[in-house]
Amino acid sequence: MAGNSSLGTNFGDGVRVGPGLRILNKAEGSQLAPISVYDIVPAEANDENVVLPVRTVGAGFLTLAPGAGTTRVSKFGLTNVIELDVPRGFAATLTGGATLGDLIVTGYDMYFNKMQEQVTTVSGETVRGKKAFKWITSAYYSNLVDAGSTLSIGTSEIFGLPWRVDCGTYVSAKFNDPALPTPVAGQVALVGGEADVIMLNVPLDSITMVSPGQVNGGTPGILRSELDSTATGNVLKIRSSDAADTSQVFYTVSSPAPQIVFNYAYQDVDGDGNPVPSTATTADVRGTVSILDPDIFPDGVKRLTVFAYVLGSNTTALIEPSIQSLPEYAYKTIPNDVTVQGYAQFSGT
């Protein structure tokens, strides 16, 4: 199919492909979803634009107060609601002290679904939530804040997606003007023929090249490498064919900057394949993207653009097996309320 190259070619409603192509939605062919685009200009992250620094004397609700990047609005029957510039995560900063506590933030997502998230503070550090709020209605802290220290809540560099995406192959994000690929290189010693290198600021989806090779020592074997995602970050795994290999190995990973990491949607299922409900500590139900480059943070000017295939076939765990055969779910690649919004938010009620 030819199209005007200056305007591009677009299949707005998806295209059906594959053997046994039919017109009705019982076709053997599969449907390709169109690419959806999410484009925002997020404000700079702010450690205290939801709750100003405060020292609490015990458990209780914190006073919400807007700052740069947030606004006070009347909504949901309340007069002091903090509206974030875009759906994004919160950040809780405890400046010091030995006493820690649980922070419970309640609010709503971009689709007006009530939601709640709980994090535990860490002395002298900022803890970032996993969920994307559009409005925050309350913040409850379970403990006192030691003398000489304060607790504040603000916005982070974690941004929510408007559709459920549970696989990195379906999403790509660009922030500001993407730079040319920048190599990340280093040297590591194999132990028992293995080495794992944490790639904290290198998103898996951006990897364009991995090149390992022996430098010296050990009993060199044939090297292979792979990339994996773990709870502590993305990992470059280097493996030798010789389990006794103790060589020094160099590696080069090429990844474009600024560095953006995709965090997939919460999607746990039980042994029967049915969804396990989200909780106050699970990940965002649609997924998020995080901007990690310390030199190119959001500033209210730079654009964050996310491209994704919104695939219903990627969300069958959301649909009870007994109703998957109903006509409204026959086109599993057509986004609907279930496939777009993802698992139900944990509301705390």
pLDDT in tens, 201-250: 555 544 444 445 555 555 567 777 777 766 666 777 888 888 888 888 87
Closest C-alpha to 91, from 81, 103, 75: 103
pLDDT value at 26 more than 80: no
Q: Residue 89 has what pLDDT?
A: 97
Mean pLDDT of the region 129-145: 96
Output the average pLDDT for the chain.
77
pLDDT in tens, 78-122: 999 999 999 999 999 999 999 999 999 999 999 999 999 999 999
- Whether 180 and 257 have beta carbons less than 8 Å apart is answered as no
Mean pLDDT of the region 160-171: 81
Provide the CATH topology of domain 46-158.
Jelly Rolls (2.60.120)
Sheet containing strand 304-309, edge to edge, reads 35-40, 304-309, 171-175
The domain spans of the chain are: 46-158, 182-255
Q: Residue 110 has what pLDDT?
A: 94
Q: Residue 73 has what pLDDT?
A: 97
pLDDT in tens, 268-320: 877 776 778 899 999 999 989 998 765 678 889 888 998 887 755 444 444 44
Q: Residue 39 has what pLDDT?
A: 92
HSE of 106 in the Cβ direction (CA atoms, 13 Å)? Answer: 14
Mean pLDDT of the region 1-30: 40
Mean pLDDT of the region 129-137: 97
Q: Residue 29 has what pLDDT?
A: 43
pLDDT value at 50 more than 90: yes
Phi-psi region of 192 (alpha: psi -120 to 50; beta: other; left: phi over 0): left
pLDDT value at 75 more than 70: yes
Q: Residue 18 has what pLDDT?
A: 41
Q: Which of 11-20, 162-171, 225-234 has the lowest mean pLDDT?
A: 11-20
pLDDT value at 151 more than 90: yes
Give pTM, 2 decimals. Answer: 0.68
- Residue showing tokens 């103790």: 246
pLDDT value at 17 more than 90: no
Q: Residue 41 has what pLDDT?
A: 93
